[in-house]
A and B are shown apart, each in its own frame.
Chain A
Amino acid sequence: MTSAFGSAPAGRGDPVATPARPTRPSAARAHRKRWARAGGTGWLFVLPAVVMYAAFVLRPLVLTIQYSFYNWNGIGVARWAGLDNYLTVFTDSDLLKIIGNALVLIVFFSFVPVALGLLVASLVRRITTGAFGTVVRTVLFLPQVIPLVAAGIAWSWLLSTNGLINQVLRAVGLGGVARAWLGDFDTALPAVGVIGAWVLLGLCTILLVTGMSKIDPALYEAARLDGAGPIREFFAVTLPSLRQEIGVCLTVTIIAALASFDIVYISTSGGPGLQTTVPGLEIYRLAFSQRQVGLASALAVVLMLLVLLCVLPIQRLTRGDKS
C-alpha cells in the first residue's frame, strides 16, 4: 500500500536503454539481427528491472486502486463498496483535517528549506572550494544522512519540557514561553515542521550550491559592471539560473511533506488530538490498526493524486522553456 505514493516520483525515468547492436558477424544469425534491431536485446537488458518494477511498484499500485473500491478487513471476505471510500475521504471532517495538516507541512518542509537554502547557498558559495568548503558541505548535508527515526527521537528530546530548547529559553529569561512543544495543541504541528525543515535544509542547500557553481562567472562580472549590488545580482543572475535546481528541491520536499510518516510517527504519533496526524500515518493506522484496508487504500490513492497535483505544475514551470 505504501508503495502507492512512493511510486509517484519513480515513473519519470525512461526505463529503456538504447538497443545494442550485435557486432559479431555470423551468417546464420540474420533473424537474430532483425530481432535485435527491433529492440529485443534492449528489452532483455531491462527485463530484470521491469519485472522488479512491475512486481514491487505497479502491482501494489494496481492492487491499492482495486482495494479502494472494497470494504475489507485484510483477511475476511471483501464487500464491494463502489465509491463509498472516496466519499468518506472527501466528507469525513477528521480526514480532511489530516489532509490539511499535510498541506501546512509543505510550508515547513518545502518553502522554508528552499528559501533558507537559497540564503545559505549564496553565503557559502564563495567558500565551497578548499578544505573548509568540504567541511561546510558535510555539516550541511549531515541531517540528510541521519535516519529520520533518529532525527525524530533527537528532536523530541530537544523539544521536550525539560529539553535543551526550553533550558535555553529559561536561561535567557524566557521561561514563560517554555512548553512541551510537541504536546501543545498550538505548537505541535509547527514543531514537527521545524524538524522536517532541519532535515531537508541540507539537501536543498547542497543542490543549490552545486547549481550556483555551474553559473557562468561572466554573468556576475557583467552584472557588476552594470553596477548591480549583491542583492540585485542574486535576483538578476543567481535566481533565474537556479530555476531547475529549485524545481528539483521543491519536488523532492513537497513529496516529503505530503508523504511524511517517520518524523511524525516518532515525535508525536499524530497527537495531541489529530493536530499532527498526516495522511501517511492515517493510512497506516486505518489499514493495520483499524483494519479498514479499503478506506486506507482510497486515502492512499487520493494522496498519490495530491502529490501529482502539487508536483506536476512545478515540473512544467521549472522545465518548460529550457528544452
Chain B
Amino acid sequence: MATSLTKFSRRAALLAPVLALGLAATACSAPGADESPTTGSDAAVSTDLGTDPITLEMYAETGFPLAKALADEFTKQHPNVTFNIREDQFTVIVENAPRVMASDNSPDIIRLPTMVDLVKDDLLKNLDPYFTAYGWDKFPASQLVQLRVGEGGTTRGTGSLWGMGLGYSVTGVFYNKKLAEQVGMTQPPATIAEFEQLLAKAKTAGVQPIMQFNKNTAGINFPHQALQNQFGDPAQVADWIFQKPGATFDTPAALKATQTIQKWAQAGYFPKDANALDYASMVGEFQKNNGLFMFNGDWESANLDKTMPGNVGFFLFPSESAGGKHVAMSAPNTFGIGAKAKNPDAAAFFLNWAHTNPTAREIAVKIGGSSPGGPSDLAVPAAAPNTVLAETLKASQQLGEENGAVDFTANATGGIFAAAITPEMQKLIAGQQTPEGYVKAVQAEYAKELSR
C-alpha cells in the first residue's frame, strides 16, 4: 500500500508540470472571437474584372457538378481568372462553413448552408452594393427573397442580400410512367384527393405507392411540407422559416399534414423500411421501378433522364381543390462571398455572369437541371423534349408565375432538421409519436434554438 502511495505521488508530481504546460498553452480568457469590425456594406465596389490574373477560391459541394462546369466556362471566357475549387459533402460544408470562413484562408465563393448564423457572426459579405451596381433589381424579387437576412442576423426574407443562387431548384413529385399506366393513372392528379386515390390504387395493385427515404435525414418531410403548404396559408409556413416574431409550427395546417402522413404510413404508402433507407437507396429503388411516386427535386432530373429515359414524369404537388394555386419548396443553390474574401469583386462578377451569360444559363439547365434564375426578360434555355428535365423546368416557370415558392421547413434554423424534424418524423411513421406530439416537439426545438 505504502509503495503504491509513493508511486502515486511521484506520478502526480510528474504530471503537475505537464498539466501546467497544458494550461499555459490555453489562453485563460473566454473562448471565441473578440468583436470584429463589421464589413461595411457601403464600401465601393467595382464591376470591372480587369486583366490582372486572379485565382478565385471556391468551396463547393460534392455531387453538384454545376459549380465546376460554370467555373470552367468562366475561365474559358475570361482567361485571367482561374478557380481553385475545394469540394466537400454538403453536410460537411454545413459543419465547416463558419470555421473555414473565419480562418485566414476564407474562400471567395462558398456554397452556403443556412445564412442567418453566418450573418450574425459577420462572416458573409453584404451583397447590396453589387445588387445596385449590377441592377439585380431586374430579377423577380421572389427569386432573391430567401437570400435576404435582416440586420444582425434576425429575420430572413427581408433586409440585405447575402447570397445568390447557382441554379434555382424546384421540388415536386416524380412518377414512374410504366407503373402509372399499370395502376390506371392517365394524367397527373389535380387534387390531393385524387393523389390519395392513386396511392390506394397502387397499394391494391401491389405497387409501392411512394418511394421515400427517412434515414439520416427525414425525407418524409418532403411530402409533409407539400401537404402543409396546401392545408393552410403558405405565408404562415414562410414566416416560420424566416423566423418572424410570433410565428409557430403549431398550426392546424401542420397538424392536418402530420395526421395525413401518419395515415399514409399506417396504410403502407411509404416503404416499410423507410427509417432504414437513405437518399441514395431511395433513388436506387425508384430507378429499379420500385415505387410509383418519389418526392424529390429537379437536381435529380438529369440523372433520371439518363437512368430511366422516357419513363419518368414530374408534377407539382396538387392543391386541395382543382385549379388551386401550386405551392412548392423551391430554393436557390445558395452561394455567398466570404467577408474575408480576397477577390470579392471578381466573385460577384462571376455570380452575375452565371445568371446572365447565355452559355452559363444553358449550363445551369443542362448540367444543374434547374432554372438559372436571372432577369425575368431572359428566356430560360430549353431542355430536350420528352425529358423529365423539360418537365421540371416547366414546373419551375409555372411556380414562378403563380408565385408559389417557399423555402424548406428544414432550413428554418441550423439545428431543426437534425434535432427535431428527423428523429420525430422517424418516430411518427413508426407509430412512436402522435401528430399532436410531433407538431409540439418541432415547435419546442425551434423556440429553444431561437432563445439562445
Contact = CB atoms under 8 A, between A and B. Distances in A.
Contacts, number: 137
A237 B273 CA distance: 49
Contacts of B449: 290
B415 A75 contact: no
Contact of B418 (A53, A160, A289): A289
Contacts of A274: 423
Q: How many interface residues does chain A have, given as a range?
A: 35 or more
Interface in B390-437: 414-415, 418-419, 422-424, 426-427, 430, 432-433
Contact of B414 (A271, A273, A289, A323): A289
B30 A76 contact: no
Contacts of A160: 273, 276
Q: How many interface residues does chain B have, given as a range?
A: 35 or more
A212 B452 CA distance: 57
A161 interface: yes
Interface string A2-40: 000000000100111000000000000000000000000
Contacts of A224: none
B274 interface: yes
Q: Give the interface SS of chain A, mostly helix, strand, loop or mixed.
A: loop
Nearest to B413: A290
A221 to B, nearest CB: 35
B331 to A, nearest CB: 19
Contacts of B283: none
Interface string B31-61: 1111100000000000000000000000000
A290 B415 contact: yes
A170 B98 CA distance: 49
A72 B32 contact: yes
A90 B260 CA distance: 36
Given A66-B31, A80-B30, A161 B22 contact: no
A77 B276 contact: no
A183 B275 contact: yes
B432 A77 contact: no
Nearest to A60: B22
A323 B4 contact: yes
13 contacts: A14-B14, A15-B14, A50-B21, A57-B22, A58-B22, A62-B22, A183-B215, A183-B277, A185-B430, A268-B215, A271-B426, A289-B415, A292-B452
Interface of B: 4, 11, 14-15, 18-19, 21-23, 25-26, 30-35, 91, 94-95, 98-99, 102, 117, 120-121, 123, 214-216, 272-277, 414-415, 418-419, 422-424, 426-427, 430, 432-433, 449, 452
